Structure formats: structure tokens, C-alpha cells
Amino acid sequence: MVTVPQTPSTNTPSNGAGSSVSNGGTGALANGERKMQSAEQLVQDLCNPDLRENALLELSKKREQFEDLALLLWHSFGSIAALLQEIISIYPFLSPPNLTPEQSNRVCNALALFQCVASHPDTRMLFLNAHIPLYLYPFLNTTSKSRPFEYLRLTSLGVIGALVKIDDTDIVSFLLATEIIPLCLRTMEVGSELSKTVATFILQKILLDDVGLTYVCATPERFFAVGRVLGNMVAALSEQPSARLLKHIIRCYLRLSDNFRANEALRNFLPDMLRDATFSACIREDPTTRRWLQQLLHNLQGPLPPRPGFERPQEN
């Protein structure tokens, strides 16, 4: 074991090891201070329209390097307002869809900073209580499949995904009250594979909360709206498999099977492709997904629930 000298520096070994350790610690501290000063300056720059674009780019690129950037953003005068200004400024380009790649990249940098705020334990509920997620909903309501819109949807979903990663009924209740499920279902229908995966993950996290499961299964219309989209995704995956997307779909079905009315309905409406060997190769290397699928099928083979299930709503 190395003994740190307690005598003055004149007794420090001639190779300068002790000095280098001290200098290293001082250097790390100074580097941290420089990063914080840089972050503070960039956050201040958000309030200057002439400097905002560069500040958005630098902060979004380096947000992992800046410790407690979320706190700095939230408590700095004008910074959240500046980010909201960026969000609102592109609303006119959503319909008709006329969003350029440059506009999309810029607003997605702002969204990345909102995701930082949504992820931090000390700012998450402040972010939610300010109803800031509502400003993102128009982006999730778009249907254009062009790259700028797809990037916009994906980054917006990332903010919502950051909120639901933490199991919190208050967050789920807020999202349900603000009609997030129809927006997720829309993305699950029109988005890219990655957007569909994130949207399905959000639906999964909502269903895993008892409040979310009760909400979806409260009416036949809600249940069959979710079931129809999940079923269509399963059919599409039979032609273009995606193990990570299928994993979230199966977990959603498994959670739905915990509800007595949904359980009975799934006995009739679960896609046959989940009952046969269609996806055997796709999930062969994923024991968790295989276990979930086995549990789902087991849940649907036992005695029928004692209460009545759903009747499929009449289609117009």
C-alpha cells in the first residue's frame, strides 16, 4: 500500500508523483468549472435570438457532459420560454406539411434539452406540472412520413419516454388525462420502426400501471382501438420482423391479459401469428420475450374470467 507523505513538499519523491496527483485533482476541478461556465454561457445565449441556434446545437450535443444541466435550464431566467418559443415557431409548418430539414434539426435540439429536463429527478415533476408535454402533442399528431417529420416525432416521443421510464402513477394519470394514447397509436401506425418501438414502449409503461390498464380496459372502444393497432403491427412484423418492437408488443398483450374483460376478448382476437411458430426465429435469442409469450398463451388458456368480456364495437 502506498503511504501518502505527510511532510512538506521538500520530501516529495523526486519523480514528482505526488505533485502529479495533486495537479491532476486540481486540473479535473478546473475542467469541471470550465464546463459549468461554458454551460451557463450557452444557457444565457438561449435568450439571445442571434445566438440561440448555436447554443441549442452545442447544448444538445454536450448535454451528457454538463452535470445538472436540467437544473440550470429550469432555473435560468428565460431559458424554458426560449425553448417553448422554438417549439411553437414551427406549428405553422405542420399542416400542410412543409417542414424543412433545417427547421426540424433546430427544434429537435430544443426537444433534446426538454428530454434532459424530463429525465432529471429534480425537474421532472416541475416539467410535468407546467404542462410542457402538451406543446409536443401537435408533433405526435402529424402523419407525414418525410424525414423531417419522422425525426420530429421520434425526438418528441423521446421526451415522453423519459417521463414514463420512472414508474409514477401521477405521470401516467397526466398522460392519460391529456389523451396520449391516441397519439401513440397514431405513431404506431405511421411511424418508422424506431418511432413505433418508442411509442409502443410508452404504451407498455402506461399499461403496466394499474391506472393505465384500467383506463384502456374501461370501454370496448378503447380496448379494441389498442388491440387493432397491435394486431396490425403483428401482421406487418410477419413480413419485416423486428425483435425489439415485437418484444414491446408482446409485453402489452401480456399486461392486457391481466384484465378479466381484456383476457376474454384476447382469446378470440389475439393474432394467430402469436400462437403459431411465425416468430420463433425472431425471438429465439431473447429468453425474456419467449417467456412473456409463453405466459401470455398460458393466461389465455385457463378458465374464462367470471365476469363478462367485451363486445366488439360495430364498425361504421
Average pLDDT over residues 268-296: 95
Q: Higher pLDDT residue, 86 or 36?
A: 86
Give DSSP secondary structure letters for 59-80: HHHSTTTSTTHHHHHHHSTTHH
Q: Identify residue 235 by its one-letter amino acid code.
A: A
Looking at residue 302, its pLDDT comes to: 74
Cite the DSSP H helix spans in the chain: 17-45, 52-61, 69-75, 79-89, 101-119, 124-129, 137-140, 147-164, 169-177, 180-190, 193-208, 210-216, 220-237, 243-256, 260-269, 287-299
| Distance, C-alpha 141 to centroid of its chain | 16
Domain residue spans of the chain: 37-183+191-210, 217-316
Question: What pLDDT digit, counting tens, does each position of 200-233 carry?
Answer: 999 999 999 999 999 999 999 999 999 999 999 9
Average pLDDT over residues 247-255: 98
Looking at residue 158, its pLDDT comes to: 98
**CB contact set of 1 (below 8 Å; sequence gap of 6+):** none
Q: Identify residue 10 by its one-letter amino acid code.
A: T
Looking at residue 9, its pLDDT comes to: 41
pTM: 0.86
Question: What pLDDT digit, counting tens, does each position of 135-188 carry?
Answer: 999 999 999 999 999 999 999 999 999 999 999 999 999 999 999 999 999 999
Total residue count of the chain as it appears in this document: 316
| CATH H-level, domain 37-183+191-210: superfamily | Leucine-rich Repeat Variant (1.25.10.10)
| CATH H-level, domain 217-316: superfamily | Leucine-rich Repeat Variant (1.25.10.10)
Looking at residue 37, its pLDDT comes to: 82
pLDDT of 6 above 50: no
Looking at residue 11, its pLDDT comes to: 42
Of the candidates 163, 166, 98, the residue with the CA atom closest to the CA atom of residue 134? 163
Average pLDDT over residues 100-115: 98
When the pLDDT of each residue in the chain is averaged and rounded to a whole number, the result is 89
Torsion of CA 299, 260, 223, 286, to 10 degrees: -20
Do the domains spanning 37-183+191-210 and 217-316 agree at the CATH topology level? yes
Question: What pLDDT digit, counting tens, does each position of 59-68 carry?
Answer: 999 998 988 9
Q: How much of the chain, in percent, has pLDDT values that exceed 70?
A: 85
